[in-house]
Amino acid sequence: MEYFNLAKTKDGFHVEDFPNAVKVIQINRPQSKKLADLFLHRNDLEFSLKSLEEINCVPDQSNFLRQALWRSAIVHYLKCFGDNKARFNLDSKKIYRKEEPIAIENFEYFRNLRNKHVVHDENSYSQSIPGAILNKQNHPYKIEKIVCFAITVETLTQENYSNLHMLIKVALTWIVSEFDGLCEILTKELESKSYETLIQMPNMKPRTPTIDEVKNNRLENKPHASG
C-alpha cells in the first residue's frame, strides 16, 4: 500500500506520480467493496498506531493528552473488529491464528476495555463513591458538604502499551497482504481487457457527503458495486 499525490480535474482525479497516466478509472467489480473496506481498515489501524506512538512524545505531566491518545488508539483499533454494517469486520481469530495464544487473550482484554470502560461505563474500572463531610459535634451544623470521590483504574501501562502495539502491527501486516493480493487479481483482470474498453470506463469521482447523510449507513447513500 502506498500514498500518491492527486490533482482534481473537471472529470475526476489525476495521479501526479505517474506521468504516463491519462485517467483514474473507477473499478466496479465484485472485489471492489472488499478492496475499499481493507483500505478503510488500514486507515483506522494507522491512526490507532500513530495515536499510540504519539504518547511517547508527550511529557509525563500531561496526563490528559496521554489519556486522550491512549483512548483514541484503543477505539480506532477496535473499530475494525466491531459490528460494522457498512464494511466487513476483521476476524481476530484469523488475524492472530499464527501468533501465541496470549495474542487472543490480549485482544479480548482490549475489546472488553473498549466496550466496558473506554466507550461505555459499565465495569468497575471507573467508580464514583458519594459521601458526606461530617463536622465536629459542637459545630452549628452537622453536614459540611456532599462530595463524590472518583476512582479510575490506570490502564496506560508499559505492558498494555506493548501489547496493543503488537496487536495493531500484526493486524496491519495482515491488511496489507490481503490488499496487495486483491490488487494483483484486479490488475490481471483489467489487463485482460482491451485499451478501448478501459478508456471508456468511468472516471473515479469521490462524492462529498451531505450533512443529512450523517445519520445514514454508508451503503444507504450509494448503490452496491456490481461486476
Rounded Cα gap, residues 1 and 184, in angstroms: 12
Q: Fill in the amino acid letter for 166.
A: M
| Residue in this structure with the C-alpha cell 506493548, named with its chain if needed | 162
Rounded Cα gap, residues 54 and 73, in angstroms: 10
Sequence-distant (6+) residues with CB within 8 A of 227 are: 28, 29, 30
Rounded Cα gap, residues 51 and 54, in angstroms: 5
> In this structure, is residue 227 part of a structural domain?
no
Q: State the pLDDT at residue 13.
A: 67
> In this structure, is residue 123 part of a structural domain?
yes
pLDDT classification of 223: cutoffs 50, 70, 90:
very low
- Per-residue pLDDT at 52 exceeds 90: yes
Per the structure, the count of domains in the chain is: 1
Cell of 181: 493480493
Q: Which of 18-32, 38-52, 200-214 has the highest mean pLDDT?
A: 38-52
Q: Fill in the amino acid letter for 17.
A: D
Nearest to residue 170, comparing CAs of 12, 18, 68, 49? 49
Mean pLDDT lowest for which of 10-24, 67-81, 166-180, 183-197? 10-24
- Tell me what the pLDDT averaged over the chain comes to: 90
Q: Helices 102-113 and 158-191, interaxial angle, to 10°?
A: 100
Q: State the pLDDT at residue 175.
A: 97
Over residues 123-133, the mean pLDDT reads: 97
Q: State the pLDDT at residue 189.
A: 93
> In this structure, is residue 192 part of a structural domain?
yes
Q: State the pLDDT at residue 227.
A: 31
- Per-residue pLDDT at 222 exceeds 90: no
Residue numbers of the domain that contains 54: 6-220
Q: What share of the chain is helix, strand, coil (3-state, %, to 5)?
A: 50, 10, 40
Rounded Cα gap, residues 153 and 9, in angstroms: 52
- Per-residue pLDDT at 22 exceeds 90: no
Distances (CA, A) of 12 to 15, 24, 111, 219: 10, 8, 40, 22
Over residues 48-56, the mean pLDDT reads: 98
> In this structure, is residue 208 part of a structural domain?
yes
102 bridge partner residues = none
Over residues 196-223, the mean pLDDT reads: 81
Over residues 138-145, the mean pLDDT reads: 97
Rounded Cα gap, residues 77 and 113, in angstroms: 12
Q: State the pLDDT at residue 12.
A: 66
Residues 94, 98, 103, 108, Cα dihedral to 10°: 20
